[in-house]
Structure 1
Amino acid sequence: MNTPPRAVVLLSGGLDSATCLAIARDQGFETYALSVAYGQRHAAELTASKRVADALGAREHRLARVNLGQFGGSALTDPAIAVPEDEGGHEGESAIPVTYVPARNTVMLSIALAWAEVLGASDIFVGVNAVDYSGYPDCRPEFIAAFETMANLATRAGVEGARLRIHAPLIALSKADIIRRGTALGVDYGLTVTCYQADDAGRACGRCEACRLRAAGFAAAAIDDPTPYQPHLG
């Protein structure tokens, strides 16, 4: 029997990364799911990542820890910065919102790269998206291409000729298309947590930008939204 190729899949526990894990599995990879506790306020997503990894048959699931919260600078890591709940989320179309976490995707991809080298995996999957997203600079195709170039320059595997590939299969898809693709691949989105301020039970606030994009995606895809929401007073 041929041994399937290994891939490291960054798995936050949210909708996009769950779909990315399902795509990697569908492409024939033996998947190794990697979640990162980086000091995020919405830590319920880490609990969700374990559920998703189990449900989608990851060969192994690891949780790495790096405290980006010690630097602050983001509403997702600093309790003193409020998570925006207005329709815009940030000022102007080109502004980068306060939910941007400095260097987050660079750090997480670097950790994934380290594990991939140890596993002998040449493929890393990440669920970044450049369509229905918040304007984060580390979700752009240019960033993914640049990181892949760096990975092949900076690693023993790359120098010795084992070409490393960074896959971003969702990067040009709308949220509705992502949901349709994942549903076709058997993703149970009820297991996922997307909200920037989910409670300890994983229930979404329904007000932040992540919640609005997720709800709009399910509506556009004409698929029932399984998201559990927090009860609101008034």
Structure 2
Amino acid sequence: MTEKAVVIYSGGMDSFTILNKAKQEGYELYALTFDYGQKHKKEIEYASRVCAELGIDHRIIDITAINQLLQSSSLTSEKDIPEGHYADDNMKSTMVPNRNMILLSLAIGYAVDIGASKVFYGAHSGDHAIYPDCRPEFVEAMNAVSQIANYEPIEIVTPYLKGDKISILADGLAMGLDYGKSWTCYNGREKACGKCGSCDERLEAFRLNNAKDPLAYETDV
């Protein structure tokens, strides 16, 4: 019997890589995309298209009610989204309080419900500086909890926890993935802005892999 796994799939390049990696490894995948009140739905649209194309069971979960509790983040409020690199202090405003613990808890519950043994998500070392819920100690603690929170132990899998965006992209390019099917920009306009932290990190990864990003950008990149 094929092993079932849940993937927290935002539609961004990290989770896009993980989704495809897990599929190629032979898992029967169940993708979860969460609408938690982020400023745009562009990533969700990309996630839907990819899952339909790959024939992956996909659920978009509306948890927008929690948005009223998470107004300190620039991703879920009227605050301006900062520009620059993730190493900059101003990028801390993109931290959504407790986001990954919330999403992982829901994904673990879903995994138990459908008889899956694993939950995949895209934490990586490039996020460690400003996102505590992407750091190894958080993943280890959540993994320990997920072993005892239900009758069925669930493993949280983070294939790129010790890697960065550059190595994630290198892995995906080696798999032949088309990153034009992923959306990373914090702004949900027709083209990616090329200026926000997410675009900056994505473009850096393409440069350092000597590859061209297939997405269209508002700026000359």
TM-score by length of 2: 0.92
- Counterparts of 1:102-113 in structure 2, within 5 Å, are 102-113=97-108
Q: Is the 8 A contact 1:33 1:62 kept in 2?
A: yes
Q: 1:161 is matched with which residue?
A: none
Q: 2:112 is matched with which residue?
A: 117
* Comparing 208-217 and 124-133, the one that deviates more: 124-133
Cα deviation digits, residues 109-145 of structure 1 (max 9, x gap): 1111111011100111001112356620000111111
Q: 2:62 is matched with which residue?
A: 65
Cα deviation digits, residues 171-191 of structure 1 (max 9, x gap): 122222111211222322101
Q: Is the 8 A contact 2:127 2:134 kept in 1?
A: no
Q: 1:196 aligns with which of 186, 193, 200?
A: 186
Q: Is the 8 A contact 1:175 1:214 kept in 2?
A: yes
Aligned-CA RMSD value: 1.9
Aligned residue for 1:97, secondary structure, equals helix
- Counterparts of 1:1-234 in structure 2, within 5 Å, are 3-58=1-56, 60-67=57-64, 68-71=66-69, 72-79=71-78, 81-87=79-85, 90-91=88-89, 97-131=92-126, 135-158=130-153, 164-199=154-189, 201=190, 203-230=191-218
Aligned residue for 1:98, secondary structure, equals helix
**Which structure shows the higher helix fraction?**
2
Cα separation, 1, equivalents of 2:86 and 2:211: 25
* Comparing 18-27 and 204-213, the one that deviates more: 18-27
Cα deviation digits, residues 78-112 of structure 1 (max 9, x gap): 01x11111446743xxx870000001111111111
Is the alpha carbon distance of 1:221 and 1:231 closer, same or farther for their aligned partners in structure 2, counting shifts above 3 Å? closer
Cα separation, 2, equivalents of 1:13 and 1:213: 16
* Comparing 68-77 and 213-222, the one that deviates more: 68-77
Is the alpha carbon distance of 1:189 and 1:133 closer, same or farther for their aligned partners in structure 2, counting shifts above 3 Å? farther
- Paired residue type of 2:30: Y
- Paired residue type of 1:39: G
Is the alpha carbon distance of 1:88 and 1:28 closer, same or farther for their aligned partners in structure 2, counting shifts above 3 Å? closer
Is the alpha carbon distance of 1:112 and 1:101 closer, same or farther for their aligned partners in structure 2, counting shifts above 3 Å? same
Cα separation, 1, equivalents of 2:183 and 2:17: 13
Cα deviation digits, residues 28-70 of structure 1 (max 9, x gap): 2111111000000132111011122233442x00011112321
Segments ≥4 residues shifted beyond 6 Å: none
Q: Is the 8 A contact 1:129 1:172 kept in 2?
A: yes
TM-score by length of 1: 0.87
Contiguous gaps of at least 5 residues in structure 1? 159-163
Cα separation, 2, equivalents of 1:190 and 1:87: 22
Aligned residue for 1:218, secondary structure, equals helix
Q: Is the 8 A contact 2:127 2:135 kept in 1?
A: no
Cα separation, 1, equivalents of 2:177 and 2:86: 29
Cα separation, 2, equivalents of 1:224 and 1:57: 27
Cα separation, 1, equivalents of 2:28 and 2:3: 6
Aligned residue for 1:77, secondary structure, equals coil
Cα separation, 2, equivalents of 1:231 and 1:96: 20
Cα separation, 1, equivalents of 2:51 and 2:164: 23
